[in-house]
Amino acid sequence: MNRRDIISLGAGVCVSAIAGCLGSTADSADGGSDDESLWADDGSDGGNASNGESSADEPLERIVIGDESETDAAYSLYIWNATDDERSVEIQIDHDGASVLDRTEDVPAEEYLEIVLIDSGTYETTVESESSQSTTSITPPSGDCGESRTVMTLQERGIGVDTSIVC
């Protein structure tokens, strides 16, 4: 990765975070988002959803880390396969230094996994698929934020990361 890519990625994450705090969306009763922009085409040629949405209305699998009965606040991590082919994905998540998830999943084309992070603290997340790897640090915001999520998109040329926080 060269310097321009790093600067572009940093600027994109900052703009996404600021835009997320300025906008507003409604959450459904089950904690999922009604916001169709989750699957919006970002202009990259890696995504193949012609209408800007996933072909699946529900996640392939919903993995919860923490006790949902403890709080209404949760942070969602989505891993979306925006390619035409099934992808094998290795997912490793550490919470405050301890491993909480280490598994491999096969994600069909245009499908996604949802990982719900309940506990406060920092989550170090590594997603690897084929020859691409992305590592990100996630610290869920306080319970005052209505929606917060990170979408990791598996594309033909890598893994895209987009974070959105609405407070």
**What's the domain count of the chain?**
1
Q: pLDDT band at residue 102, thresholds of 50, 70 and 90? A: very high
CATH number (domain holding residue 60): 2.60.40.10
Which of 87, 94, 164, 96 lies closest to 135, judged by CA?
Answer: 94
SS3 3: helix
- Write out pLDDT tens, residues 38-75: 444 444 443 333 333 445 689 999 999 988 887 767 78
What residues make up the domain containing 118?
Answer: 3-166
CA distance 36 to 43: 16
Which residue in this structure is represented by tokens 């990982």? 115
